[in-house]
Chains A and B, each alone.
Chain A
């Protein structure tokens, strides 16, 4: 190792970034890299940073690894693996002083790009492939595998783990195993022979991953829809939500084919647009099936009119919104949490929708399955707010669980017998139980009883059209009561209190969780203990309001410009806006803990000089 760098060896704490060209097969090599670290028991959080393009433009894959369980991003690239000359100048600039720039040195590097505070590691990738392979596509594909092999030598990735992954990947195509392992060896040997391996940044096996899994949130949603009993999906393709329905279809084709007839126990319709997609979901749910759609911001805008109909006519619907950076087409391949208000209040008139907000693939799975129960119990749309970061990146997660005793909660539905035995008149919008939720009937249940006319116009408790103001107001008030009832059904917030409690509280939700929890640790290390509260649903549970009340200084962390969740809290809980300090990161990249730490310190340094802070009101 070169003398001029004054570096202390560091184990299990680095960020590697791969700079590739879109469409060159780098994804599977990069995934192999991340998965290998995962199998070594380390915490990995890979991030795809990709353009809105199919082939040719730069794309990056950033992997942070540590052994403390942190899954947020971290600034500073320790090792840049550059296979894309297009972005090289910028990529070199991103490496932290003392870091490494691994590149293809088949062609010499432009000396003007050199930095003397980082180390350049040249691998003749193109040359090795020219010598080894005849076919052009092979030359391109194996280049990717070769750099993974080289990294194995450079940072101590267990070679057995890599060969194990190759074997898994090519199960059924065994002929491909040997050439891939050979490519790994080529890279490994070259690095071993030419560099002082390992570098000062190395990896070591840990046993901290337990039974965790690695999967993207969209696939988890698709699987959750299968387990939750969805039989109908209407959808229109849009990044980053497309893979939700694709996963649903893939799992259905494996697990939902009727064994007797070979027919599909599901129907997926690719709609003409998002209006039609949500229309189909509403039609199917009205008719007694569990149905869902998945979309992103532009789709939510188009679905608004229908969401209002479903709210007012009280029809279940499940909508998974995988958020991306808006407004308009915005940055379609970057992440954000900026559809909160658009979803909470989607549609004209007084409307409010139930939101559920997962942070991990396990929660994507659980909350998708649960959404079908909620939609039918509450007879209203349930909107799940996930985002590109959770949806399209592999996320480490607790494993999925299912209780085989679990029954679907189909809500208040009168069947033929119930109607037959009914002596009073059926009132579709009659609040019989006082929870604001009326009984419904499916079409086709009974020849003479229980039919009603579903409409978006105002009607009385018996579904008869009326423009009577007081009947309208009664109905709107009942809808509010129902929304209140929803609080007891939706996922509860997750509150984590510092050991001795704190007067500083941080609210967060969705993918802001990873950076927030890490920031809480970093702040504690610096002597500032904080409590955190993760919002997992709207309407807001009482505990969220209490959390705000109990803390002198409260922060709201989110990934949008306008502090949308804060607005929703202020509006719905009648909180003094001054009580909620904003921490907003919305450049399209997942948040880092350091970003949050800096914001918290800026504020607390001004408002307080007592350390460590103590909570005003005690309680857990």
Chain B
């Protein structure tokens, strides 16, 4: 089926610095189930990018296969998008990024897409510190193939079918930390206040910015026995910090009196402002992040917020020393050595 979106624009719709309204950042109407967590994440992406005043065509949307991977149709309609094959978005994003380092790459994947079939590609994109934001819409199940347990389902968690999952869960945030990810966060689709600034910080980060977003599947995994349903997640959520993303030279919003605040300055001068709820987390230490996540987990709680970031990270292009301009813009004169050089090569082969 196709949906035609009514062309309606309120004359007083707020615009961003570029003069675009939020509508310029929206996509076509979602065909996901009503109440699906993934739609809220799409909304958060639209909100963040609108507020950051990024020209929509400067973004490339990348995804794999799954309900989650369909969402790029539902946000940023003026950006090119690439819905690739199941679990292989990281490689397509890698190639795209190599071709044009000037675009911003927004990757969206599912827990099946990233923690099972695409685990290898996920790991290697992390390891190469590919410059992109990578969101996993984590519902603990395979939505699109009707609710099978995924590798992120917790031990004992029950999907709608009612059978407890016997296997250990893969925690993608922990895996990313161990693989050397330079930005790792966790959030919840129902917590836009936390998610929107996290997305902004992830986009501003230079390198691989990973956000594991718990995103309930209302159709197959939102029942009482599930640890990835709305109710369970809301009841067990614990934020380690709230985040505010401050573009260059803007005033920082204040924290509440009983909270400590910390600022992390990014490569482009923008600032990530943390209001800490738990002073024990040191966002500059992988070990601290891993320990805290485990501590909360043992306690039956889910730690959210910015877990780790390295503001000085070197992304893939820097590591391979490739040209500063987009490679795709190079022309014959930059690329082709010409016939004289070829004659010399011929001569050396005689």
Contact = CB atoms under 8 A, between A and B. Distances in A.
Interface of A: 38-39, 211-215, 223, 226-227, 229, 231-232, 234, 255-256, 258, 261, 263-269, 271-273, 275-289, 291, 305-306, 309, 399-404, 406-408, 441-448, 451-457, 464-466
Nearest to B80: A443
Interface of B: 2, 24, 55-58, 60, 62, 72-73, 77-85, 88, 90-100, 102-103, 120-121, 123-124, 128, 316-317, 320-324, 327-328, 330, 332, 334-339, 341-342, 345-346, 349-350
Contacts of A288: 99-100, 328
Contact of B57 (A231, A273, A278, A443): A443
Contacts of A309: 84-85
B272 to A, nearest CB: 26
Contact of B121 (A232, A276, A282): A276
B323 A214 contact: no
Given A267-B98, A401-B339, A276 B323 contact: no
Given A234-B94, A287-B96, A287-B99, 5 more contacts: A211-B346, A229-B336, A255-B341, A269-B128, A289-B100
Given A227-B342, A402-B338, A269 B83 contact: no
Contacts of A401: 339, 342
A445 B57 contact: yes
A455 B132 CA distance: 20
A273 B327 contact: no
Contacts of A452: 80-81
A615 B92 CA distance: 53
B128 to A, nearest CB: 8
B35 to A, nearest CB: 22
Given A255-B341, A280-B98, A402 B103 contact: no
A457 B328 contact: no
Nearest to B343: A399
B262 to A, nearest CB: 35
B95 A283 contact: yes
B88 A276 contact: yes
Contacts of B60: 287, 443-444
A265 B323 contact: yes
16 contacts: A231-B327, A263-B323, A267-B320, A267-B327, A272-B124, A275-B88, A276-B124, A277-B91, A279-B88, A279-B91, A283-B95, A309-B85, A400-B346, A402-B339, A441-B80, A451-B56
Given A264-B323, A289-B98, A446-B57, A283 B337 contact: no
Nearest to B60: A443
A287 B335 contact: no
B80 A280 contact: no
Contacts of B342: 227, 400-402
Contacts of A266: 322, 327
A258 B95 contact: no
Contacts of A305: 85, 88
A281 B88 CA distance: 12
Contacts, number: 231
B345 A400 contact: yes
Contacts of A455: 82-83
Contact of B82 (A211, A271, A283): A283
A576 B332 CA distance: 47
A560 B194 CA distance: 61
Given A223-B345, A227-B336, A306-B88, A465 B73 contact: yes
The 4 closest A-B pairs by CB, nearest first: A283-B95, A279-B91, A289-B99, A443-B80
A351 to B, nearest CB: 14
Contacts of A291: 95, 98-99
B114 to A, nearest CB: 14
Contacts of A39: 350
Contacts of B330: 229, 231, 265
Contact of B92 (A232, A265, A282): A282
Given A287-B96, A402-B339, A451-B77, A263 B88 contact: no
B98 A269 contact: yes
A234 B95 contact: yes
Nearest to B337: A255
Contact of A464 (B2, B78, B90, B327): B2
A70 to B, nearest CB: 20
Contacts of A289: 95, 98-100, 327-328
B15 to A, nearest CB: 14
Contact of B328 (A231, A278, A451): A231
Contacts of B56: 447-448, 451
B55 A453 contact: no
A454 B99 contact: no
A213 B349 contact: yes
Given A289-B100, A404-B338, A271 B327 contact: no
B350 A213 contact: yes
Contacts of A281: 95
B337 to A, nearest CB: 4
Contact of A444 (B57, B84, B120, B350): B57
Given A232-B327, A276-B91, A465-B73, A443 B322 contact: no
A447 B83 contact: no
A587 B350 CA distance: 32
A265 B88 CA distance: 26
Nearest to B27: A453
Contacts of B62: 283
Nearest to B94: A280
A263 B57 CA distance: 27
Nearest to B28: A464
A264 B57 contact: no
Nearest to B58: A444
A447 B57 contact: yes
B328 A466 contact: no
A456 B327 contact: no
Contact of B100 (A213, A400, A443, A453): A443
A20 to B, nearest CB: 24
Nearest to B91: A279
A444 B334 contact: no
A267 to B, nearest CB: 4
Nearest to A219: B349
Contacts of A464: 2
Contacts of B332: 229, 406-408
A426 B342 CA distance: 41
A231 to B, nearest CB: 4
Contacts of B338: 402, 404
